[in-house]
Structures are given as C-alpha cells and as structure tokens.
Structure 1
Amino acid sequence: MMHTFAHVDTWVFDLDNTLYPHHVNLWQQVDKRIGEFVAAWLKVSPQEARRIQKDYYLRYGTTMRGMMTEHGVHADDYLAYVHQIDHSPLQPNPAMGAAIARLPGRKLILTNGSIDHADKVLQRLGLAAHFEAVFDIIAAELEPKPAPQTYRKFLRDHGVDPAKSAMFEDLARNLVVPHRLGMTTVLVVPDGSQEVVREDWELEGRDDEHVDYVTDDLTGFLEGLSAKS
C-alpha cells in the first residue's frame, strides 16, 4: 500500500468520528445540544427543531451555517453552547499516536468544529503533540466543509500542496473536493462491531470514485503505512 502514499508529505485529518471511534458517540452530545439551541432560538418544539437541524446540516454543511444564514445566529454564541459536553468518554490512544508520529512529514487537523473543542479532544486522546496546527470553523471564516473555498483556504494558509497530501474523513461528501484538488483520500467508517448514531446519508459514498481508500480501523491503517515507510 505504501507506494501509493510515498509522495505524501502532509497528512490532514478530520477530527470528530475520525480520530476517535464512531461508537464513542461523543458527537451525540453535541447533536443533542444543537437541537436544544435550535429549539430555544426559534421557539419551536424539540421535534420541529430536530427537523430543522438535520435539514440545515444536510443543506449547509453544518446546522450552524444554516442558523447563521437563515436566522442571524452569531457563531460565538452557537459554538459556546453546543460544545459544552463531557469529553470523558474519550480515552488516550497511544497506538494511534505512535502511528501518526511515524508518518513522514506534517500533520494537520481540518475540522468543522471549534479549536476549543478540537484541543479538548486531542488532549483526551493524547494526540495533541503530534499535530502542527488545527484549522477550525473560525479559520474557515465560518464556511464549513464541504465548501470548496474552505479547502482552498486551508491549503493556502498552511502552504499545503494537495498533490502531496492525504485527507482522512468520516463523511464521503467531504472528500469530493480534496480528491478533485489532487489529495489522496481515505474514508474512515464505523467498525461494524458497535452501534453508531448517524444519519443514513452520512454512511453513504464509500464506493464513490472520490474515495481512494476505506478503513474501519484508522490506527491499523496508519500502522500499515508507517511500517512500510
């Protein structure tokens, strides 16, 4: 496998449901708080808030972007509320850390979350020291993946050559633009042994042409790469 990654000098990782297992369902907590925020802001029932939340998520990339566009929500208020969660379900992953450390070149995070949330996740996982920088939703000027301009700004801000980089993501639709730009793409999917809470569309796309590789074991996948480097 390594010959297809031999050109890679920059390793780009999504955060939530990519660097930790889907079945931890940490995002469930965020998802619940998003619903609460939507219901309170729009003064609608939890059921109607849920419908709006998922509609905006699908159409705008994040519910936040939909709430900003449609209802004038301020990003700071939204992010402060939805990321007030318990990060304790996350456990240190020294095996993943060692595998990431052995990869040649730079390692970066590209997330639709906030840098505060990302820092807490990386600290809990014991991975913070391995990443050069986090490009979050604020750095993206509040335009979430899969917006093309978000990837272009990330590449420009961090001086990344897409032809020499790899992108790891848990949503196939967020790999369309990276693949088009020339990045090697890896889709991280649930391992199948645990129940996960996802929308049906979130689990689609593993056979699409913009997905170069699929893995349900990111640590094992990275160990395989570093073992051959």
Structure 2
Amino acid sequence: MTENLSSAAEGAQAHRTDLRVFKGVEAWIFDLDNTLYPHEADLFSQIDDQISLYVQKILDIGRDEAMVHQKALYHEYGTTLRGLMEKHQIDPDHYLEFVHDIDYSGLDPNPDLGRQIEALPGKKFIFTNGDRPHAERTAAALGISDHFEDIFDIVSADLIPKPNKETYDKFLGQTGVSSARAAMFEDLPKNLKVPHQLGMCTTLIVPRGSRSVLKEGFDLERDTYPHVDFVTEDLTGFLTAVNGALAG
C-alpha cells in the first residue's frame, strides 16, 4: 500500500501496474464537493459562507463568532449540521435548503469526465454529506447526471455524516454494493479510513498544484496515510488512465 502512495500518479503518468488493482471493481463511489468538480471551482466556499451566515442568524451572533462556532461544531460532530442539531435543535431541512442556496453558474460542463465515468465497468454512485438536491444541481451543471445509479446523501444517512462507520454500512446496505469490489474517491483523507478498512480501493483528490507537496508528506509519513491508495489532482485524467489499464 505504501508503494502505491509513493508511486501514485495521475493522467498519462499513472503507473499501469498500480492501476490494475481496480480490476474487479464493480462499484465506483464518488464524493461530491471538491471531488467531482475541482477545488478551484470554489463552489464549496459559497456553502461555507452560507453555513456561517446560518449560524450567525440562528444564534444571533456576529460573523466572526459564527465562523469560530461553525468550525468548532464541524470538528466535534463531523458536520456543522450535526452539531447544530445536537446543541441547538435546529430544523435540518431548513438548514440544508439554506446552505445550498448558492450560484452554480461557475461550474462548467465536463464531458470528458462524463465519458470516463460512463466507461467505468459497473455501477456508479454519488456519496455526499450534502443533500440530494445539491448533488443533483451540481451533477447537472457538470453534465454527468446520467452516469450515476443513485445518490446517497446526508438524508439517506439519517443525518449522520461521513466518516462515521454506520453511514458507510448504511450505504452498503441500501445499495447492495460489495465493499471488496468497490472504489471510493474523496477529497478528505479522514473519509477514506473506513472505506479502506472495508476493503475498498481509495483515491484522494487534492487541489491542482498540491500533489507534489502532499506526495512528499506521504513519503515522509507513510504510516499516517495507510488508508490512501492513490493521490490525484486530476480526476478526469486519473479515470482515463484507470480505464486504459482496465482495457489492457
């Protein structure tokens, strides 16, 4: 596994022998935000701002205090939503509608990504801590909606977010996916720990231009990231290489 980390690459540079580990995968599971669209699209920053504004309004506090409180809840409960439910008994439906009221016009259609997702053998899923309407709008803006079997959102997870193991178990139970024949793509390393434990092949999506820095960190602290098999800053290029390896 550490060999995968030290040699992981994306696009045309992907190592064919490494990518053969995807042979036999029958379910391809994608996180949504900062995974199916690039981090530089800056869509999630709008959601982050909306979350802070929601906390500010609900608790009647200033913006700076709201941002601090938001982050504290996120780190303690996994999502700000879960923290607000536990500590302030907020209405989750109202929260989800409010924080996902954003502008999607900055997302460009990505037909190349759509073609590579479509070419993957088996079923494809979106698995997100956001809600289904947000996932549907995002996928529509990217032009990739038709390539997914289903969306497993925070409501499907009974509002218990990744990385809680029970959420992954619920996903597997509802979809019938075999974890030993699944691959998961995520932008948060902590959300790949359970998938790795369950036997999935894991790929971490990082912001463009950051992979070389992160690779050095992985090489220096390999034991810290045993749950990450591959690292890429180019999901489309990486899937192109995976499809090429599967066809070989």
Q: TM-score, normalised by structure 1?
A: 0.93
Q: Distance in 2 between matches of 1:38 and 1:101?
A: 39
Aligned to 1:55: 72
2:86 to 65, 69, 82: 69
Q: Which amino acid aligns with 1:24?
A: A
1:112 aligns with 2:112: no
Q: Distance in 2 between matches of 1:116 and 1:6?
A: 32
1:87 aligns with 2:104: yes
Q: Distance in 2 between matches of 1:160 and 1:59?
A: 30
1:218 aligns with 2:228: no
Q: Which amino acid aligns with 1:119?
A: E
1:44 aligns with 2:61: yes
Aligned to 1:174: 191
Write out aligned runs for 1:69-218 (5 A).
69-192=86-209, 208-218=225-235
Cα deviation code 1:159-193 (max 9, x no counterpart): 01000000000000000111111111100000128
Aligned to 2:47: 30
Q: Distance in 2 between matches of 1:150 and 1:143?
A: 6
Q: Distance in 1 between matches of 2:166 and 2:91?
A: 21
What's the C-alpha RMSD, in Å, of the aligned pairs? 1.5
Aligned-residue offset at 1:228: 2.0
Distance verdict in 2 for CA 1:85–1:220, change over 3 Å: same
Aligned-residue offset at 1:49: 0.4
Task: Give yes or no for contact 1:35–1:50 (8 Å, CA) kept in 2.
Answer: yes
Q: Distance in 1 between matches of 2:122 and 2:224?
A: 29
Cα deviation code 1:125-153 (max 9, x no counterpart): 00000000000000000000011100000
User: What secondary structure does 2:146 align onto?
Assistant: helix
Higher relative contact order (CA 8 A, sep 6+): 2
Q: Which amino acid aligns with 2:124?
A: K
Aligned-residue offset at 1:3: 1.7
**Greater Cα radius of gyration, structure 1 or 2:** 2
Consecutive unaligned residues of structure 1, counting only runs of 5 or more, are: 194-203
Q: Distance in 1 between matches of 2:52 and 2:118?
A: 37
Aligned-residue offset at 1:206: 11
Aligned-residue offset at 1:207: 5.9
Q: Distance in 2 between matches of 1:206 and 1:159?
A: 32
Indicate the structure with greater helix content: 2
